[in-house]
Amino acid sequence: MAEIEGDSAFESGPRFAMIVVVHGGATTMALQLRPNCEYCDKDLPPNAVEARICSFECTFCADCVEKLHNVCPNCGGGFAPRPVRPAVEWCPGVSVTKSPPSDQRVHLSFDLDQIAAHSERIRNIPPEER
Ligand SMILES: [Zn+2]
Ligand SMILES: [Zn+2]
């Protein structure tokens, strides 16, 4: 079985970068809102209801999450729906315009066999027990 090196996915900086936003005078963290599915490259704009993220914000579409058996190829974690960032500035300074999405498209660096072996190893363990 192909083993995925634990650290190999973590070398490309922007993948796990955080964004700091000044929000109501306090500094808070905001999701990056990556622009595409890492697997099929489908566009996932900030209002995409089919966007899914892992805890590191690895971003995929709902169809690909199903194909991946809810196993993130980068970290092994499960996925949750990505919240939509409001287009309207309902609260001062807080909207898609004030905190725009990332424009850096992210792509998986694993081949299909590696991804399949990785999913196979983890898929039967519920995310909360991984
Ligand atoms: Zn996809
Ligand atoms: Zn992940």
User: What distance in angstroms lies between residue 25's CA and the mean position of ligand 2's atoms?
Assistant: 30
User: What distance in angstroms lies between residue 86's CA and the mean position of ligand 1's atoms?
Assistant: 23
CA-CA distance, 22 to 117, in Å (whole number)? 41
Question: In the structure, what pLDDT confidence band is assigned to residue 19 with cuts at 50, 70 and 90?
Answer: low
Average pLDDT score over residue span 20-47: 83
* Nearest ligand to residue 72 Cα: 2
Strand partners, 60: 52
Q: What is the pLDDT of residues 37-78, one digit of tens each?
A: 999 999 999 999 999 999 999 999 999 999 999 999 999 999
- pTM value is 0.79
Question: In the structure, what pLDDT confidence band is assigned to residue 114 with cuts at 50, 70 and 90?
Answer: very high
Check whether 23 has a pLDDT greater than 60: no
Q: Report domain extents, the chain.
A: 8-129
